[in-house]
Structure 1
Amino acid sequence: MEATEAVEPAQNTPAPVPDPGPEPPARPAPRRRRIARTVGLIAIAAVIGLVGGTAVGYGIQADREPTPLPPLNQPGLAYPKPLPKGQKQKRLPAAEDRQAKAQGDLRKLLLPKPAGAKEDEYAEDVDGWMTVDTFAAMFKNPGEALEDQLDLEIRRVAATSWITGEHKRTHIRLIQYRSSAVLGAQEFTEGQHAYLPDEDWADEDGTPIKGSTDGRSYVFPVDRKPGYLDLYEARAVFHRGDIAVEIFVTDTKKISGKEIRSLAERQLGRL
């Protein structure tokens, strides 16, 4: 019996490696960057198109002739209407010309003293006129008030005052501003209306004055102090044109709202 030779395994032979198969395909790049880039390009193109279109549109419009407006359906509405040939505009009589009245003697526009009234020896006016610095001295801060009045282009102040009964005093001031300062009288009036409703003054909103656009009358609460008679006060403030009006009534007896409004309406009628 033949002996079988043992076969020795080869030395340093590596173990077999299993076949992994075909390689997987490469991972596709994310699409987000491509989409964002596309949207950005579209937005830039839209802006450029809008700006370019606007510029071209303005250029085309600028080169065109202006389009005339259609004629009025009622051409006779032109104002002022021309007078017939040979006729001239009639001037208003002085009694109806408000501007002529205001440019004359301002004292003539003040309400006259009622019958039986006495002169007020403490009145600040002299012969119906009040100087601008005297008028400014009536305010809490005379220096500031004078500066404000000069800024408003104050022109002159006409004033009157009288006493009726035992203690009732009435003061009226017509403060006129230069025609160049159209709003001078209005601004002064608005300034008075701004503080008079405060509780330290009339403590009420006031009552409109008939016939005036911004006039209001105020009846103050009674002022009582030990050792003194009760003090009642009423005021009216309004303006007409370049003239501002202040009316003051003080008394030791109650003053009705009807009384101060009646004074204001009669003074307004003279303007």
Structure 2
Amino acid sequence: MTQQSESAPESAPESAPESTMQLTAAVPAPPTAPPLFPPGVPAPVKVKKDRRVLRAVLRWTAAVTVFAAVGAGTTYAVTERTRGDLPGLATESDGRWEYPAIEKPPLPAGAPAAFAEGNTREEHFADLRKLVLPAPEGATEDKKLAGKNGWLPTATYLDVYEKDARADLAQALKDGALRHIAARGWTMPDGTHTRIYLLRFNTGAFAREYDANVVGSSDGLTGAPDTEENFSWTGESGSVVRYTKLNVYDEVRPYGKEQVRQAYIQSGDVVALVAQSRAGRVAKIPFQQTVALQNQLLG
């Protein structure tokens, strides 16, 4: 019995190294893991649970994304502070004037619009006096430009130009079959003086001829005898209204006591002059705003 217990087991491989046998014998067998769920308790359905969790995670992720987007959008809007984008919030003024609500005057019964099909003369049948842009808030109106019953004498209009240009302009107006002149002027608290003149000719053809042959070659307004056309202005202020033509002129430096800006709008049978002057310099934004609004009224 003693000899049998001291002999090697028959199952041990004869070729196994002694070191391997010792290492294997030294490492105990891993303990058996307890069951994940106690006996009698069914395991939950993993697929359904995972989907519910996934849906909940997606809902929270979407909510966080929406809040992040809204926060980012609000930050962008407040940072940009685009005029009119934030009703109820105070924004820094960009220099624009506060004009009243502007609407085109009604047409007489049965009268077509200026550029309607069939209106070959391109006539504005609406009251010309109501096509002049109203004065903005805070303005002091120029009573001299009110005229009699709203119609301005030709001589008063010619006073806008240098003396040596008035005779030729008067003849051009006569040859162009000028019918009426309506005007309005005002002065803002900062001293900017605005004058708007609407000249109605017999037809659109006469107005185009006057605009092409006289406006571009005129010597400029009183106080600004030398001018140059600003070709980049329409690109800065937006597209010109359909069916209309716009030309903007800047006074050539050095300025006199005042800087003068002027713009001409030709729309059908009407040629409009918008002029602004101010001691020092005329602000760019209100000038563009005024011209654009007058252009829209005539378009």
- The two structures have a TM-score, normalised by structure 2, of 0.50
Q: Which residue of 2 aligns with 1:89?
A: none
2:181 & 2:207 partners in 1: Cα distance?
Answer: 12
Q: Deviations for 1:30-50, whole angstroms, at most 9, x for unmatched residues?
A: xxxxxxxxxxxxxxxxxxxxx
Asked whether the 8 Å contact 2:142–2:184 carries over to 1, the reply is no
Q: Deviations for 1:28-77, whole angstroms, at most 9, x for unmatched residues?
A: xxxxxxxxxxxxxxxxxxxxxxxxxxxxxxxxxxxxxxxxxxxxxxxxxx
Determine which of 170, 173, 191 is the counterpart of 1:146.
170
1:185 and 2:211 aligned? no
Secondary structure of 1:107's counterpart equals: helix
Q: Which residue of 1 aligns with 2:288?
A: 261
2:252 & 2:189 partners in 1: Cα distance?
Answer: 21
1:237 and 2:261 aligned? no
Structure 1 residue ranges without an equivalent (≥5): 1-92
What's the CA shift for 1:123? 3.8
2:112 & 2:292 partners in 1: Cα distance?
Answer: 19
- Summarize the Cα distance change of 1:193–1:116 in structure 2 as closer, same or farther, 3 Å threshold: same
Determine which of 232, 251, 266 is the counterpart of 1:220.
251
- Summarize the Cα distance change of 1:121–1:108 in structure 2 as closer, same or farther, 3 Å threshold: closer
- Summarize the Cα distance change of 1:133–1:269 in structure 2 as closer, same or farther, 3 Å threshold: same
Aligned residue runs from structure 1 range 1-271, under 5 A: 94=107, 97-99=112-114, 102-123=124-145, 125-139=147-161, 140=163, 141-179=165-203, 182-190=204-212, 191-195=214-218, 200-207=225-232, 209=234, 210-212=239-241, 213-221=244-252, 230-271=257-298
2:176 & 2:107 partners in 1: Cα distance?
Answer: 28
Secondary structure of 1:125's counterpart equals: coil
- Summarize the Cα distance change of 1:126–1:201 in structure 2 as closer, same or farther, 3 Å threshold: farther
What's the CA shift for 1:105? 1.7
Asked whether the 8 Å contact 2:229–2:248 carries over to 1, the reply is no
Q: Which amino acid aligns with 1:220?
A: E
Report how many residues are paired.
172
- Summarize the Cα distance change of 1:263–1:205 in structure 2 as closer, same or farther, 3 Å threshold: same
Asked whether the 8 Å contact 1:202–1:218 carries over to 2, the reply is yes
Q: Which amino acid aligns with 2:295?
A: L
Q: Which amino acid aligns with 1:211?
A: V
- Summarize the Cα distance change of 1:144–1:130 in structure 2 as closer, same or farther, 3 Å threshold: same
Q: Which amino acid aligns with 2:184?
A: T
Asked whether the 8 Å contact 1:223–1:232 carries over to 2, the reply is no
- Summarize the Cα distance change of 1:192–1:235 in structure 2 as closer, same or farther, 3 Å threshold: same
* Structure with max Cα Rg: 1
Q: Deviations for 1:104-137, whole angstroms, at most 9, x for unmatched residues?
A: 3211111111111112255473443212343345
What's the CA shift for 1:221? 4.1
Q: Which amino acid aligns with 1:193?
A: G
1:138 & 1:223 partners in 2: Cα distance?
Answer: 20
Q: Percent identity?
A: 21
Q: Greater RCO between the two (CA within 8 Å, min separation 6)?
A: 2
Q: Which amino acid aligns with 1:103?
A: F
Asked whether the 8 Å contact 2:129–2:183 carries over to 1, the reply is yes
Q: Deviations for 1:18-37, whole angstroms, at most 9, x for unmatched residues?
A: xxxxxxxxxxxxxxxxxxxx
